[in-house]
Amino acid sequence: MILARTRMASRLVLIGGTSHVGKSTLARELGRRLGGTVLSTDHLGRHPGRPWGPAAARPHVVDYYTRLTTQEQLVDVLRHYRDVIWPAVLSAAGSASGLLILEGSALLPELVETLEPGREAFWMVEPDDVLSARIRDGSGYEDQDARGRALVDSFVARTLAYQTWLQRSLAERGLRPGVPPALKVP
């Protein structure tokens, strides 16, 4: 029922949440099921990026995760989402033809609520220990040296701080996190 209504009534589906909650996986599956275009806010401008990957972390990424406190990182990433990513989200949504499924951490409740009707929006959360384990597994944490582990630990701390902020922001608006049952991926 919700899938049919989403297909007919909404031209924009927004999936928010912190890193590693499953937004991209769900968006891809919805795109397959509903025939929509899938876009990640990560492709609209990454900030500053994950401190691991196939190549060594770039100096500015290392600096970001070692110099800034978790709270400073949170304030900075929220500013980036509001000032840099949100205008790109509006542009993408405005130029989309057909159904657009947009996912990303940059989909802040305070900004999403300013959009016109004709959209479905929800935010995903996971328990802190699940997020921490996913990030550590995905980063090759056990194979990292002390410096690499410290960078991943900093990323985990910011991820958890963002999720706490998000849950508070949703509660202030009378919203609850979660995926509508009919949209869940089996």
24-37 pLDDT tens trace = 999 999 999 989 99
SS3 label, residue 56: coil
Q: Is the pLDDT of residue 53 over 80?
A: no
Domains of the chain, each with CATH number or no CATH: 2-174 (3.40.50)
Nearest by Cα to 122 from 114, 130, 113, 131: 113
Residues near 70 by Cβ (< 8 Å), separated by ≥ 6?
Answer: 154, 157, 158, 161
Encoded tokens for 178: 């979660």
- What pLDDT score does 131 carry? 97
* Residue 37 main-chain phi, psi, to 5 deg: -85, 135
Tell me 41's DSSP state: G
- What pLDDT score does 1 carry? 24
Are 177 and 170 in contact by the 8 Å Cβ rule? The answer is: yes
d(CA 110, CA 91): 18
Most confident of 3-7, 91-95, 131-135: 131-135
d(CA 73, CA 153): 13
User: Where is pLDDT greater, at 115 or 8?
Assistant: 115
pTM above 0.85, yes or no: yes
Are 34 and 3 in contact by the 8 Å Cβ rule? The answer is: yes
